[in-house]
Amino acid sequence: MRRKNIQEYPWLWLLPVLLSLVIFYLYPMLDVARLSFSNATLIRDPTRYGFFHYISFFTTKDFAQIMKVTFIYVIGSLIFQVLIGLLIAFLVHTGQKLGIKGAVFTRTVVLSCWIIPAPAIGIIWKILLSEFDYGIINYVMRLLIGHNLAFLSSEYLSIISVTIANIWCGTAFSMLILYSGFQQIPEELYEAAMVDGANGFQKFRYITLPSLRTFLFTDLSLATIYTFNSFGLIMALTAGGPGRSTEVLALSVYRTIFERMNLGRGAALSMVLLMINLISAVLYNMSFIRKGETK
């Protein structure tokens, strides 16, 4: 009798999963949303509720600075991460087709950058970019131009430095996704294009790019969310400094709550981050569906 009831109501099989989602995801998210409308701190319960945190985002320069840094970091990372990942994926795929030695080794080396934890990557780049004697990159700079460059202590160079470090880390992810896309393209398409007299650029434009469309959208969608949520790398590399020149939105949530003790404002910032991630995912999915309909 019990088995029959379960078969009649298959959603009962999903009940444990649904309860887990409600307890560990939905409830914490709703509680953070509640706190974002409060003046709660880490040492004081909320005493009033309102939209004052969200209103302050449009009336203070701090939030504008955080969003400016965040979008510079995200857009710069995405452009070069996808382009370099596409180039490496193409070279590795072509090398394997031609039987060139070292193609598999190159793929393994690039992927090793992705499996390193983000804080460890931040520490590695902090050593590389250091202005002290052990900084390899500044050692090269001294040989070339005669002096160090303030990669981590300059307001302008620091955001470039953390972006380059993130590109170095994220390129492997893009390469992995796009490499799998290259593997799915039938060789017959290129052979037919060769018979028709197509050159290399025409093959890339009319065969490779359309075939990689799904993989490119997947890469962009996941990389955008991952980069907006970037925390460990920047925390280890610059901790948001100098000043607030590398304080992206995810790092600002941490500093607002645990350094400035402002739980309510930190919760509001985290809700802004959540909305940006949701909007990014929806826009990419809508674009992908529209492309699929017009294909």
Is 15 among the domain residues? no
Is 190 among the domain residues? yes
Is 161 among the domain residues? yes
- The string of pLDDT tens digits covering residues 148-201 is 999 999 999 999 999 999 999 999 999 999 999 999 988 888 888 888 888 888
pLDDT of residue 1: 46
- The string of pLDDT tens digits covering residues 42-62 is 888 888 899 999 999 988 889
pLDDT of residue 5: 58
pLDDT of residue 196: 82
Pairwise CA distance, residues 238 & 156, whole Å: 13
Is 141 among the domain residues? yes
Instruction: Calculate the CA 270 to chain-centre distance.
Output: 16
Note down the domain range covering 122.
60-294
pLDDT of residue 161: 96
State the average pLDDT over residues 119-136. 91
* DSSP summary character for residue 49: B
Instruction: Calculate the CA 176 to chain-centre distance.
Output: 15
Pairwise CA distance, residues 165 & 153, whole Å: 15
Pairwise CA distance, residues 65 & 133, whole Å: 33
Is 17 among the domain residues? no
- The string of pLDDT tens digits covering residues 211-263 is 898 899 889 989 999 999 999 999 999 999 898 999 999 999 999 999 999 99
Is 26 among the domain residues? no
- pLDDT confidence bin for 292, thresholds 50/70/90: low
- The string of pLDDT tens digits covering residues 61-91 is 899 999 999 999 999 999 999 999 999 999 9
Pairwise CA distance, residues 221 & 284, whole Å: 6
Q: Kindly state the greatest CA–CA separation across the chain.
A: 84
The answer for residues whose C-beta is within 8 angstroms of residue 86's C-beta and 6 or more apart is: 174, 175, 178, 212
Is 20 among the domain residues? no
| 41 close to 263: Cβ distance less than 8 angstroms | yes
Q: Where are the alpha helices (DSSP H) in 42-154?
A: 52-57, 61-98, 103-115, 118-128, 136-145
Place of tokens 């991460």: 81
For position 120, which CATH number holds? 1.10.3720.10
pLDDT of residue 2: 54
Residue 135's identity, in one-letter code, is: G
Is 45 among the domain residues? no
Number of structural domains, the chain? 1
| 251 close to 117: Cβ distance less than 8 angstroms | no
Q: How many CB atoms lie within 10 A of CB 44?
A: 11
- The string of pLDDT tens digits covering residues 19-41 is 999 999 999 999 999 999 999 99
The reported pTM is 0.89
- The string of pLDDT tens digits covering residues 88-117 is 999 988 888 888 877 778 888 888 878 889
